[in-house]
Structure 1
Amino acid sequence: MIETRALSVALSGKPVLADISVALPKGRLTALVGPNGAGKSTLLMTLGRLLEPASGDILIDGRDLRAVPPRELALQLSILRQEGAIGPRLTVRDLVSFGRYPHSHGRLTAADRLEVQRAIDRLDLAGFADRYLDTLSGGQKQRAQIAMVLAQQTDVILLDEPLNNLDLAHARRVMRIAREEADAGRTVIVVLHDLTVAAAYADHVVAMKAGRVAAEGPSEEVISEEVLSRLFETDVSVAEVGGRRVVLTL
């Protein structure tokens, strides 16, 4: 389980998160949802130790995140950032191979290469594996970065808006993979804007607004007309279509 206790974060001296206390269940898929500027990505970056909290604590399985050595953390937690810097003259395979660095330290074994190829195949990148990143579309680059995260093979996976630039088929593929990872016992935390996707795939939802937690709990409790209408300050309808909940604005 990942817990935050009274977590607050400031960027350039301006408060962004305030008094965030959540319990994100182990081996489940958690969606972070909310309006633009709610603090979802900031929370994810702080959970990934890319941002330093102003106050409060983050615990992973009861252990203070700050006490985990960087090398150990890289074996335990992986993160997809919204704007990851990638070299244009890298191939897809080169990029995905970086995910194995915590394991191999640059000397790929046969087992490492199998994990790299598996991640490439899962993200439907086999046809592009040896192409340079600057020759790819935005969606293809996004999938390559997700493949790198998967290749890292960590117990905790943090994904910041992984569906950016993806078409419908590949968005579905990515969410199915995220679901598979959670079903395999990994803790997956995803920033999502599509509430219907959150309803379809997430076990647990944290709804954020203005840097605070507005609601937290099982998906079926948070993805509701009452909670979402209050969260987004507009009328929201939640309907069931083909056995799935669909979120609509009126």
Structure 2
Amino acid sequence: MIEISSLSMSRDDVQILRDVSLSVPSGRLAAIIGPNGAGKSTLLHCMAGLLAPDSGQVRVNGQDIHALREQGRALILSLLTQSQGAVPRLSVRDLVAFGRWPHHRGRPTPTDHTATAEAMARFDLDALAQRSVESLSGGQRQRAFVAMAYAQSTPWMFLDEPLAALDPKYVRDIMDRLRAMTGTDTGKRSIALVLHDLSVAARYADFCIAMKAGRIIAAGPWRDIVTSALLSELYETPLRLAELDGAPVVVGL
């Protein structure tokens, strides 16, 4: 479980997070939604320990995330940011294997090799194993980076806008894989991710964190709290939560 208490943060005299408190149960796919400038990415990075808040506390599975050293955090959560940086001449297999670094610190064991192979297979990357990451399409590249985060074998995965600039095929591919790996059974993961596509969030998320102007407007199981009225208020434009061929969609009015 993630427990956030009275989290506030400002940068350059601009208040980004305002007294944020919420709990996110384990085993969920939690979507953080809200308009631009709501503080979504900042909240995710504070949850991951990448940013230090001005006040408040974040506990992930009972651990005060800001009291842990980097390696300790890396055994509890993996974070995939919006910008992954350049990876010249790095093969897909080497990139995915890099997710094991917090475990072996440069001395990989058979367990690390097995975890890398499992991540490669789960994200259907075996045929691309020797390709350089820079040679991949956008969707293939993003799948490789998500596989690297998965290979880290952490209870929690945090993903900041993992679907940015992807076409519908790759959006569905990645979200299907993420949805399949969440749960409370052994080997399953808990996932929190920032999403802008509300129809994707409605289809895949089972927990929602709705943010606006640095505050939590609503948080809880998606089906219990997300309505057309909430979305319209959140984005300040008429929106409707509807259903198409049995799948939820969000449409503008």
CA contact (8 A) 2:52 2:66 kept: no
Question: Equivalent residue for 1:241?
Answer: 244
| Counterpart mapping for 1:94-243 below 5 A | 94-183=94-183, 184=185, 185-243=188-246
The whole-number CA distance in structure 1 between the counterparts of 2:86 and 2:113 is 20
CA contact (8 A) 2:49 2:73 kept: no
Kindly report the root-mean-square deviation, in angstroms, between the aligned alpha carbons of the 2 structures. 1.6
More divergent stretch after superposition (126-135 vs 26-35) = 126-135
Shift of 1:57: 0.9
Residue 172 of structure 2 aligns to a residue whose secondary structure is: helix
More divergent stretch after superposition (211-220 vs 124-133) = 124-133
| Counterpart mapping for 1:38-77 below 5 A | 38-77=38-77
Q: Percent identity?
A: 46
Q: Extract unaligned runs of 5+ from structure 2.
A: none
**TM-score normalised by structure 1 residue count:** 0.93
More divergent stretch after superposition (55-64 vs 88-97) = 55-64
The whole-number CA distance in structure 2 between the counterparts of 1:180 and 1:72 is 27
The whole-number CA distance in structure 1 between the counterparts of 2:170 and 2:114 is 22
Task: Give the letter aligned to residue 167 of structure 1.
Answer: D
The whole-number CA distance in structure 2 between the counterparts of 1:110 and 1:123 is 20
CA deviations on 1:142-183 (whole Å, 9 max, x unpaired) are: 111111000001001101111123332322221122222222
Shift of 1:202: 1.3
More divergent stretch after superposition (26-35 vs 167-176) = 167-176
CA deviations on 1:22-79 (whole Å, 9 max, x unpaired) are: 1111111111001111111111111111111011111123332222332222111101
CA contact (8 A) 1:79 1:149 kept: yes
Shift of 1:244: 2.3
**TM-score normalised by structure 2 residue count:** 0.92
Task: Give the letter aligned to residue 103 of structure 1.
Answer: H
Matched, 1:26 2:26: yes
